[in-house]
Structure 1
Amino acid sequence: MNDIITVRGYVATEVRLTLAQSGLPIAGFRMCSTDRRFDKESNAWIDGNTNWYSVSMFRQLATNGAASLRKGDRVVIAGRLRVRPWINAEGRTGTSVDIDADTAGHDLMWGTANFKRTSTDRTDVQGQVPAALEDMPAGVNPATGEMLGAEETDYPVDPDPDGTPEGDDGAHGAAANAKELDAAGAPF
């Protein structure tokens, strides 16, 4: 059974980015979420229980998350919930609550973000890395999220840099009636 959960909370530890032997990027961090409610008697907000989660991210989400998320950030995480009992060598027992994240992002209720697309189909000049990819960790293929060896760090270049399919003039039904976007003013 897959239990899907969405949690709002804080990044409680630094995000760790590692590479599996297979080349799969994996990032992880601890997250906390505290229940808050307004107490009418004291006329103040009070904290309830704090829940703790171990969050795991894979592939492109791992590399983007490691480049974007910092300790203390307010985030929204959605993914598969796993609750597992554990026992250590001394016989101590506990329960691990993990989220295998499908998506992660900053909680815009509490601040702003500056989104940068990591897709390589936005290359403006043949052979140059798009500006949105400048903050990616070194040695990461932005198309797949895989970490590359030194000999594989060249980014692939889209043969059609404007991203439109052949024969597509950009007019699509209702969009044709909408205001034309000045391509020179577009951020991509």
Structure 2
Amino acid sequence: MAFGVNNITILGNLTRDPELRFTPTGTAVASFGLAVNRSIQNKTSGEWESQVDFFNVTAWYKLAENCAESLSKGDRVLVSGRLSQDSWESKEGQKRSTVRIIANVVAPSLEFASCKLEKNPRAEEGVSAGNTQNGGSIEEVDFSDEDIPF
């Protein structure tokens, strides 16, 4: 069976502050709206008209927590993820559906703003370059140019 591709990347402005919730098992989930403005030319009048598309975005886990902490209504962000369709039946028996974006990446647009990144500590144990917590140490490796294979 062949699989399809489900990727979306959009740039827009938050329509509301991210709402952070937690599932019963403690998993963080944040949701926010995104407005994407675009212009189209009216073929009859030749004038440019502004149109807006609205998207609901959902982020999970640490990304959700970071979105809730860092973003607010009006912020311009780039969102990359996949589309997800939810279907249900209303109380009146009508079938309903909606499409939302499940975010893999949410990043500020630096087109009209600047930001300072504050990296979160990594969840994994061990030693990384420049980090000697947990009693680890970093050894210097001594090698000569003759050891390099090129």
TM-score (norm 1): 0.59
**Residue number in structure 1 paired with 2:78:** 76
In structure 2, what is the Cα distance between the partners aligned to 1:110 and 1:160? Answer: 34
In structure 1, what is the Cα distance between the partners aligned to 2:140 and 2:49? Answer: 56
Cα distance, 1:105 vs. partner?
A: 1.1
Cα distance, 1:5 vs. partner?
A: 0.3
In structure 2, what is the Cα distance between the partners aligned to 1:160 and 1:106? Answer: 27
**Residue number in structure 2 paired with 1:112:** 114
Give yes or no for the alignment of 1:27 onto 2:41: no
Residues 9 and 56 from structure 1, CA distance in 2 versus in 1: closer, same or farther, beyond 3 angstroms?
same
Residues 168 and 93 from structure 1, CA distance in 2 versus in 1: closer, same or farther, beyond 3 angstroms?
farther
In structure 2, what is the Cα distance between the partners aligned to 1:25 and 1:2? Answer: 26
Residues 14 and 160 from structure 1, CA distance in 2 versus in 1: closer, same or farther, beyond 3 angstroms?
closer
In structure 2, what is the Cα distance between the partners aligned to 1:32 and 1:166? Answer: 48
In structure 2, what is the Cα distance between the partners aligned to 1:52 and 1:94? Answer: 18
Which letter does structure 2 place at the counterpart of 1:10?
N
Residues 94 and 34 from structure 1, CA distance in 2 versus in 1: closer, same or farther, beyond 3 angstroms?
farther
Do the aligned partners of 1:2 and 1:81 also contact (CA within 8 Å) in 2?
no
Cα distance, 1:90 vs. partner?
A: 3.1
Q: Which structure 2 residue ranges, 5 or more long, are not aligned?
A: 146-150
Do the aligned partners of 1:15 and 1:69 also contact (CA within 8 Å) in 2?
yes
In structure 1, what is the Cα distance between the partners aligned to 2:95 and 2:35? Answer: 21
| Superposition misfits of 4+ residues, deviation over 6 angstroms | 158-161
Cα distance, 1:46 vs. partner?
A: 3.7
Which letter does structure 2 place at the counterpart of 1:106?
P
Give yes or no for the alignment of 1:96 onto 2:68: no
Aligned residues: CA RMSD: 3.1
TM-score (norm 2): 0.71
**Residue number in structure 2 paired with 1:162:** 130
Q: Which structure 1 residue ranges, 5 or more long, are not aligned?
A: 121-142, 145-155, 174-188
